[in-house]
Amino acid sequence: MASLPPPYQTHLPLSPDPGEKPLNYEPQLPLVPIHVVTHASQLPAEFLEPSAERQLVIGFDCEGVDLCRHGTLCIMQLAFPDAVYLVDAIQGGAVLIQACKPALESSYITKVIHDCKRDSEALYFQFGIKLNNVVDTQIAYSLIEEQEGRKRLLDDYISFVGLLADPRYCGISYLEKEEVRFLLRQDPNFWTYRPLSEQMVRAAADDVRFLLYIYYKMMEKLNQQSLWYLAVRGALYCRCFCINDNNFADWPPLPPIPDNLIVDGNAPEEEILSVLGVPPGKMGRVIGRRGASILSIKESCNAEILIGGDKGPPDKVFIIGPVKQVRKAEAMLRGKLMDVYY
């Protein structure tokens, strides 16, 4: 079991900016410097040059406009125990993001993120980066709930604000997040403006600086089998919307089943990602009225079934889970597609 490292055992008071609505902090985390990065030389050497001798765990997130394959990546946030780095993709451009590619693809650097799918998609299609070795706190939360006997409702995924508010992990009220969401609704180009305002810097930093604290709290709770599921599902979620023509052959291999989970020849079932194509204009028929068709399949299968929605891709259904459950979901979805034709 992991224990909290020294920076997360201290309780130093934070100094909210005058005139701004502060976060309701519980517990108190140390205030660390925030660096806006426009050139790779401003990033730590151990990040730019990953190695087995200097393995890292960092908080990670991305901000942008309509963040997906077609959107614009504006800021990439990196949270270290002693500093937060805001990698400015607008000012630094593709050269700066490409300098981060070895770290983002490295198995020596663990990237702690909440809901990796769209971030991974943007990095892959805009910069050719295959996000690897993530710990997705949304997945970890569900695994802990399941491990402790609490069943998650279908499509009830914990939000980052909800995770922060949970006293088991952080116990804070992230009030400014709602303010930023309101500004984004008013102006979707919010993250493109330069220079970065104090509010932009603070909001971007707050999206990652709690992640390491949450990570260590979660590592204390997860058992060995859940840790393997976390690694595999994180890898599959990173690939989810990154469809290519070679069935992800150029991506890193999935984490193997650890020997300690194989007992008397019995092991957890392999988990996979399956992508089903849907005829143009027929996705609504597959989803059903108010989602009834897709919901009935989700209720019948122990697998995650994801649809691209407004950001796309519009003609694909993504299924993640144990092989047998994925095959069952595939068969049921194909049945719905047959209904479309007849």
The 10s digit of each residue's pLDDT in 76-100 is: 999 999 999 999 999 999 999 999 9
Across 48-62, 139-153, 181-195, 206-220, least confident range: 139-153
Structure tokens at 32: 């660390």
pLDDT band at 197 (very low <50, low <70, confident <90, very high): very high
Helix (H), strand (E) at residue 34 = strand 34-37
Q: How high is the pLDDT of residue 286?
A: 83
If you compute the radius of gyration of the chain from its CA atoms, what whole number of angstroms results?
21
Pure H helices in 159-316: 160-165, 175-186, 198-206, 211-221, 224-239, 283-287, 292-300
Reported as a single tens digit per residue, the pLDDT across 261-307 is: 998 888 999 999 999 999 888 888 888 888 888 889 999 998 999 99
Q: How high is the pLDDT of residue 339?
A: 63
Structure tokens at 155: 């499509």
Which residue type sits at 296?
S
Matching residue, tokens 């960092």? 58
Q: Which domains does the chain have, with CATH numbers?
A: 9-239 (3.30.420.10), 269-337 (3.30.1370.10)
Q: 231 with 196: CB under 8 angstroms?
A: no
Percent of the chain clearing pLDDT 70 (strictly above): 89
Reported as a single tens digit per residue, the pLDDT across 24-42 is: 444 567 789 999 999 999 9
Most confident region among 45-54, 171-180, 247-256, 310-319 by mean pLDDT: 45-54
Q: 119 with 89: CB under 8 angstroms?
A: no
Question: Over the chain, what is the mean pLDDT?
Answer: 89
Structure tokens at 33: 């410097």
Q: How high is the pLDDT of residue 17?
A: 44
54 pLDDT higher than 90: yes
pLDDT band at 5 (very low <50, low <70, confident <90, very high): low
Q: How far apart are CA 78 and CA 200, in angstroms?
A: 15
Percent of the chain clearing pLDDT 90 (strictly above): 70
Instruction: Tell me the three state secondary structure of residue 15.
Output: coil
Reported as a single tens digit per residue, the pLDDT across 69-79 is: 999 999 999 99
Reported as a single tens digit per residue, the pLDDT across 97-113 is: 999 999 999 999 999 99
- Angle at CA of residue 307, ends 306 and 309, nearest 5°: 140
pLDDT band at 151 (very low <50, low <70, confident <90, very high): confident
Q: How high is the pLDDT of residue 38?
A: 98
Q: How far apart are CA 325 and CA 304, in angstroms?
A: 9
Say how far residue 293 (Cα) sits from the centre of its chain: 27
| Sign of the dihedral defined by the CA atoms of residues 160, 161, 164, 166, in that order | negative
Candidates 195, 187, 170; CA nearest to 59 is 170
Instruction: Tell me the three state secondary structure of residue 317.
Output: strand
Structure tokens at 177: 């997040």
Q: How high is the pLDDT of residue 291?
A: 85
Q: How far apart are CA 244 and CA 250, in angstroms?
A: 10
Say how far residue 151 (Cα) sits from the centre of its chain: 21
